[in-house]
Amino acid sequence: MIRPIYLYGSEVLRKRAQEADLNDREGLASLIADLKETLAASEGCGLAAPQIGVSLRVLVVDGDVMTDVYDYLKGFRRVMINPVITEESKRLCEYNEGCLSVPGIYADVSRPDSVSVEYYDENFDKVTERLDKFACRMVQHEMSHLDGELFTDLVAPIRKKIISRKLQNIANGKTRTRYNSKIR
Strand pairing report for 58-62 and 46-48: antiparallel
Q: Is 142 a catalytic residue?
A: yes
Which residues are CB-contacts of 30 (< 8 A; sequence separation ≥ 6)? Answer: none
Beta bridge partners of 181: 5
Catalytic-labelled residue, pool 19, 26, 97, 142? 142
- Which residues carry out catalysis? 142
